[in-house]
């Protein structure tokens, strides 16, 4: 029964592919994978917009969308229809080709990037040897799309927004890669399925051997998701859009379906980075406890992805937007050195893996944890300046 | 594979010519992105998977963005209309044409090229890493130093000079 | 035409286009872009030789390209910083106007 559920999507796919003529089967298999990824993630996108609006509304003491369908669940469909029927405006001065191609270039690479992620024990569309590099390469193509959107619109807010966005994306690429490097270092592979395999097994007591349950893994996870928040343009790092300052930045001149495409691309990027974070540190499709392994692997992956999305929504509802200089300082003076420290800790962890004497584990924990926590304290204090040492004051409450 | 090679080769060359001859600077930069992407595709047809991805990551994600940034920061006019090239433009094109012709003729005429069609098997990334970390360690260290030096050098060069840099000594 | 020759010819043509651009464009940034094109052509050559060279040299060809990519990144960063410094001094990025040794 367990095995049947686990194999169900694979078997269904094979059965479908077997329907087409022999010569076309490889093409059909690839198309099926691509169609599945697009369909599932477009559906998740719709669900997330609803979740986000509902969740934010709850945090702000208002009901949120509640008119279309039960509990407003059909709101995404209504929004999609509205987007489709809107007039597609292209500014008179805009560069026709650049303006039109930008939304496409935003969405297509992200969909490609999703292909390398192992969503379940047997569910990976494209198992590349250098899968992680492929993912980051495809993720970085969206920077070009942002620039094209900003420059092609011939609007100074667009251009300003695009410049901000690119500076931010490039800056946060570095800590993101460093955080991912910790898991690569210990797993010894760039292939995402091999990284999941390296997290197999369990500690005594049934806790799975995920990377996050090590000091460097915890640091890596926190760094990775912080940098992801910035890479995916989410609050509190949503300066490129900053609708209260530069009226949505590079999106100013887009309307209708192109605007929807940009949003789709942004959310898909968020899902993609979350999925990679899950794969690197949270055990991919593996169950957290050994006696829970009867639940199919793809269910675990979906659950973890939903938890990540909920975390991002919570973060957006809680933290105010940063200033541009704070953003840069945070990336270069805090996340980057901390990423290096996490890598050092991972190296130490790996080098001491063969320690067998009694009490080796607490010593390893203390050493690796110290390598991360001490820089965290020092860097955090220097980033905060005086405010870190003075008692906290509630300026507006007094 | 055959069709892929032909399409990508044509794409590389057309985009390269466009990148070097268009008037609007930003269009040139975007064509450059296309060249780099198509070149990565050519790497893929040769079985160099890791390098193709590294090419996209470094060239498309970083270098072309840097170029675009420099274009926007140093723009006096969006388009410089009249003279796009140095005066003896024909000379430059002739030199380039001569070099290209010479190399192509040499490739076609050379008997020294191995005419085997059998290809080296694709190398897994693990092998690449091992090679990098055993035989090529001095080169790797040198590249690390070079990149650090370039990082610091670029920051120092592009740093705005402080207003007090007029030759006067700062007051003690 | 053997597979190796085809790649070499594409690379030669790409190199030629890059050289022509580097020699004829006035804008310093585009001259730098031309040099990048030439480096890409060289990389293509190296990989083609690694793949079809008919020898057993392991991953040496790929490692070489990796180093070229790293050096190209460093070169671009410094080159563009130089161009921005030049622009700050002389309000131009045209190569034929940057003809003085002292700024």
Task: Measure the CA–CA gap between A375 and C99, rounded to whole angstroms.
Answer: 48
CB contact at 8 A, A257 and A107: no
CB contact at 8 A, A269 and A110: yes
pLDDT above 70 for B80: no
DSSP C9-68: HHHHHHHHHHHHHHHHB-BHHHHHHHHHHHHHHHHHHHHHHHHHS-S--TTHHHHHHHHH
For A199, list phi and psi in degrees, rounded to 5: -100, 20
Contacting B residues, span 84-103, partner chain C, CB-CB under 8 Å? 84-87, 89, 91-93, 95-97, 99-100, 103
pLDDT above 80 for A98: yes
- Contact call for A136 and B57, based on CB within 8 A: yes
Instruction: Enter the DSSP assignment of C95.
Output: G
Q: How many CB pairs under 8 A join A and B?
A: 65
Mutation site, B13, B40, B109, B150, interface C, largest C CB count within 10 A:
B150
Tokens linked to B162? 């402080």
Task: Measure the CA–CA gap between C45 and A153, rounded to whole angstroms.
Answer: 39
Averaged pLDDT of chain C: 83
pLDDT above 50 for B168: no
Q: Which residues contact A133 (CB under 8 A, 6 or more apart)?
A: A190, B50, B53, B54, B57
Query: What ipTM was estimated for this complex?
Result: 0.87
pTM strictly above 0.90: no
Chain B residues whose C-beta sits inside 8 Å of any chain A C-beta: 26-27, 30, 33, 37, 49-50, 53-54, 56-57, 60-62, 64-65, 68-69, 72, 124-126
For A151-206, the pLDDT digits (tens) are: 888 888 888 888 888 888 888 988 999 999 999 988 888 888 888 888 888 888 77
Q: Would you call A207 helix, strand, or coil by DSSP?
A: strand
Report the pLDDT value the prediction gives residue B169, as an integer from 0 to 100. 45
Find, in chain C, the residue whose alpha carbon is nearest to that of B107.
C5
Q: Which residues contact A10 (CB under 8 A, 6 or more apart)?
A: A122, A123
Instruction: Enter the DSSP assignment of B23.
Output: S
pLDDT band at residue B81 using 50, 70 and 90 as cut-offs: very low
- What percent of chain A is predicted at pLDDT more than 90? 17
ω before A299 within 30° of 0 (cis)? no
Q: Which residues of A touch B30 (CB under 8 A)?
A: 98, 144, 148
Report the pLDDT value the prediction gives residue A87, as an integer from 0 to 100. 82
pLDDT band at residue A223 using 50, 70 and 90 as cut-offs: very high
- Contact call for C60 and B131, based on CB within 8 A: yes
pLDDT band at residue A279 using 50, 70 and 90 as cut-offs: very high
- Contact call for A143 and B124, based on CB within 8 A: no
Tokens linked to B89? 């433009």
For C94, list phi and psi in degrees, rounded to 5: -85, 130
CB contact at 8 A, A64 and A53: yes
Q: Which residues of B touch C96 (CB under 8 A)?
A: 86-87
pLDDT band at residue B161 using 50, 70 and 90 as cut-offs: low
Tokens linked to C45? 């050559």
pLDDT above 90 for A273: yes
Instruction: Enter the DSSP assignment of C94.
Output: B
Mutation site, C7, C18, C27, C33, interface B, largest B CB count within 10 A:
C33
| Average pLDDT rounded to a whole number, residues A5-13 | 79
Task: Measure the CA–CA gap between C85 and C10, rounded to whole angstroms.
Answer: 36
Task: Measure the CA–CA gap between A67 and A392, rounded to whole angstroms.
Answer: 44
- Contact call for A129 and B33, based on CB within 8 A: no
- Contact call for A130 and B125, based on CB within 8 A: yes
For A176-190, the pLDDT digits (tens) are: 999 999 999 888 888
| Average pLDDT rounded to a whole number, residues C39-61 | 82
| Average pLDDT rounded to a whole number, residues A85-107 | 84
Contacting A residues, span 96-135, partner chain B, CB-CB under 8 Å? 98, 128-130, 133-134
pLDDT above 90 for A368: no
């Amino acid at each position: 029964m367990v095995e049947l559920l686990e194999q169900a999507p694979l078997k269904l796919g094979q059965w479908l592919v077997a329907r087409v003529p022999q010569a076309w089967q490889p093409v059909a298999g690839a198309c099926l994978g691509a169609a599945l990824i697009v369909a599932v993630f477009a559906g998740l996108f719709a669900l997330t917009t609803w979740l986000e609006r509902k969740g934010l509304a709850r945090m702000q003491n208002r009901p949120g969308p509640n008119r279309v369908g039960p509990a407003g669940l059909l709101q995404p469909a209504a929004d999609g229809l509205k987007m489709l029927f809107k007039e597609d405006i292209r500014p008179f001065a805009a560069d026709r080709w650049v303006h039109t191609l930008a939304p496409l270039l935003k969405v297509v690479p992200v969909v490609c990037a999703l292909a390398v992620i192992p969503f379940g024990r047997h569910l990976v569309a494209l198992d590349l040897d250098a899968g992680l590099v492929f993912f980051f390469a495809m993720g970085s193509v969206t920077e070009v799309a942002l620039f094209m959107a900003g420059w092609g619109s011939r609007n100074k807010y667009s251009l300003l927004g695009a410049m901000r966005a690119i500076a931010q994306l490039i800056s946060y690429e570095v800590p993101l890669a460093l955080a991912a490097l910790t898991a690569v270092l210990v797993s010894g592979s760039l292939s995402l399925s091999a990284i999941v395999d390296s997290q197999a097994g369990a500690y005594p007591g049934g806790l799975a051997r995920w990377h996050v349950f090590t000091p460097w893994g915890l640091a890596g996870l926190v760094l990775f998701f912080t940098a992801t928040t910035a890479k995916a343009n989410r609050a509190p790092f949503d300066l490129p859009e900053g609708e209260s300052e530069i009226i949505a930045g590079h999106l100013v001149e887009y309307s209708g379906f192109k605007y929807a495409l940009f949003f789709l691309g942004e959310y898909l990027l968020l899902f993609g980075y979350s999925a990679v974070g899950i794969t690197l540190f949270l055990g991919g499709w593996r169950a957290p406890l050994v006696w829970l392994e009867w639940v199919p692997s793809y269910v675990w992956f979906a659950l973890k992805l939903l938890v990540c999305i909920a975390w991002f929504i919570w973060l957006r509802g809680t933290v105010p937007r940063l200033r541009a200089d704070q953003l840069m300082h945070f990336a270069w003076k805090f996340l980057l050195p901390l990423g290096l420290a996490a890598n050092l800790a991972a190296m130490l962890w790996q080098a001491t893996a063969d320690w067998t004497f009694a009490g080796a584990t607490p010593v390893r924990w203390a050493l690796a944890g110290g390598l991360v926590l001490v820089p965290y304290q020092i860097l955090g204090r220097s980033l905060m300046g005086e405010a870190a040492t003075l008692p906290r004051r509630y300026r507006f409450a007094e | 594979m055959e069709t892929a090679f032909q399409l990508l080769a044509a794409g590389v060359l057309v985009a390269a010519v466009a990148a070097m001859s268009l008037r609007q600077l930003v269009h040139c930069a975007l064509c450059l992105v296309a060249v780099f992407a198509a070149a990565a595709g050519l790497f893929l047809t040769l079985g160099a998977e890791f390098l193709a991805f590294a090419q996209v990551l470094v060239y498309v994600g970083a270098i072309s963005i840097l170029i675009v940034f420099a274009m926007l920061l140093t723009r006096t006019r969006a388009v410089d209309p009249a003279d796009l090239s140095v005066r003896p433009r024909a000379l430059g094109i002739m030199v380039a044409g001569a070099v290209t012709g010479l190399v192509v003729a040499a490739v076609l005429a050379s008997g020294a090229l191995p005419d085997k069609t059998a290809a080296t098997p694709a190398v897994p990334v693990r092998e690449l890493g091992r090679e990098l970390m055993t035989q090529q360690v001095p080169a790797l260290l040198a590249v690390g130093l070079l990149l650090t030096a370039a990082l610091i050098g670029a920051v120092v060069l592009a740093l705005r000079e402080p207003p007090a840099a007029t030759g006067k000594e700062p007051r003690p | 035409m053997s597979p190796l020759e085809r790649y070499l010819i594409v690379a030669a043509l790409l190199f030629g286009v890059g050289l022509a651009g580097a020699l004829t464009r006035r804008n310093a940034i585009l001259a730098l872009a031309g040099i990048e094109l030439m480096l890409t052509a060289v990389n293509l050559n190296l990989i083609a030789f690694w793949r079809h060279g008919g020898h057993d040299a392991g991953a040496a060809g790929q490692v070489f390209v990796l180093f070229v990519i790293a050096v190209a990144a460093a070169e671009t960063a410094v080159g563009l910083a130089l161009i921005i410094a030049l622009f700050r001094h002389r309000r131009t990025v045209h190569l034929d106007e940057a003809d003085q040794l002292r700024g």
